[in-house]
Amino acid sequence: MKKTAALSVALTALALSFTVHADVDVSLGSKDRVTRLFAYPNNCNVICFRNWTLEQTVEHYLSQSVQRDGYPSAKVSVTNDNDQLHAKITGVPDGYDKPLTRLLNAGDLAYTGASKLNADGKFAYNWYLFLPLGMALENRKSVELLHFPPDYSLTQAQDYLRSATTDRWATLLTDNGIPADQTPAYQTIIDIAPIAAPANAGSDLEGVYSYFNDYQTTMVKNVSQSAAGTSLPMVAFGAPVRNWLKAQYNVNVPVLGLAIISPATGQTVSVIGANHPSYIWYAADKSNYGGDEAKADAAGLKVMGQDLSAACWQAGMGQTPGSNAASLLTQCATQWQVTHKVETCKLFYTSIRNLTPDQAAAKCRTGSVGRQLDQLRKPLPEMVKKQA
């Protein structure tokens, strides 16, 4: 898997080196529109954490996109001409404006939904409309369907991919052979609630999805296709997202379940169900088991095996979109839950229990953990499973 990933990255870099680069001018719209769609100002509460102008804010997010698309020498300049903003992007292929324009047009739909939500008195004072800015616009490998972005990704990081959730999943992708600097290409996110909110706002946000239906379906249709028109694999994280897929596309996608959705006529997208990336910390919390650490470790190992298997599928399908999804999933599940289950164990203890590699290796050699490894094939306790 790791050799294949390295070869894929090398071929991608070679292809990009032969791409004809151009200067692309993009009309972003009125100052008011850009202010709404870029959540400006991102981080001001009397004192601005980063005291950027609107133009600097847009330049920041568009620069993230061109870098994550694999154009390190590209430059972005945003200007205001009579309250109409324009972006000039140099060093990118001709036509690079098209996916950006589609994102902003979808953003208008999100703003309409958020406005209706607010008019109905359901938009909380500490929520922010936050579009998936700064991610790869063109050279994507896969799509991640999530619930909502945490507020600090906007107010502190100004980076949609900077969160405990996305950082952990990026690590799992590297465990499956994707170089760390290439993981953003696999993490193009669609949040079914495009609202940056505190991490504990999940239950409140479950009641807002219908306000963003036009935005959600438009984003899924647009983002799940590559620039060449190839359908990209999608990972559906967490129960709220998997329930939304059931309601929207009439598919059941349990954890490590597979489905096919059709976002548009003639378009089919392979989807895998996964735990929420942060779920493992709940599943492995011994307070859920009356303080029984062995049971908590067993549940955590189960989730770790599932998560590594899902990330393996995502990595493989992202490298070769035409792969047989079911066969690849069988291969990945066997790899992490049977053949390399000791490695799964070590990764759990180093990344979740914060043990050293030597401590984790010792832990994974003990008889008690050997019995816990057998739990990888068994269902989670119901009290934990229902939260997955």
User: Are the C-beta atoms of residues 151 and 157 closer than 8 Å to each other?
Assistant: no
Confidence band of 228 (pLDDT split at 50, 70, 90): confident
pLDDT over 60 at 375, yes or no: no
Q: Where are the domains of the chain?
A: 97-277
Concatenate the DSSP letters of all residues of 168-216 into one string. Answer: HHHHHHHHTT--GGGGGGG-EEEESS-EEB-GGGHHHHTT-GGGGHHHH
What's the CATH number for 97-277?
3.40.470
The 10s digit of each residue's pLDDT in 127-138 is 999 999 999 999
Average pLDDT taken over every residue of the chain: 91
Give dist(CA 43, CA 49) in Å, integer: 6
Give dist(CA 224, CA 263) in Å, integer: 8
- pLDDT number for residue 382: 46
The 10s digit of each residue's pLDDT in 89-102 is 999 999 999 999 99
- pLDDT number for residue 17: 47
Concatenate the DSSP letters of all residues of 240-252 into one string. Answer: HHHHHHHHHH---
Confidence band of 227 (pLDDT split at 50, 70, 90): confident
Residues 292-318 have a mean pLDDT of 97
Query: Could you give the dihedral angle defined by the CA atoms of residues 98, 33, 189 and 259, in that order, rounded to the nearest 10 degrees?
Result: -80
- pLDDT number for residue 238: 97
- pLDDT number for residue 387: 45
Gyration radius (Cα) of the chain, Å: 21
- pLDDT number for residue 46: 86
Residues 345-365 have a mean pLDDT of 96
Confidence band of 4 (pLDDT split at 50, 70, 90): low
Look at the block and give the residue holding tokens 């990336």: 277
The 10s digit of each residue's pLDDT in 20-43 is 578 999 999 999 999 999 999 999
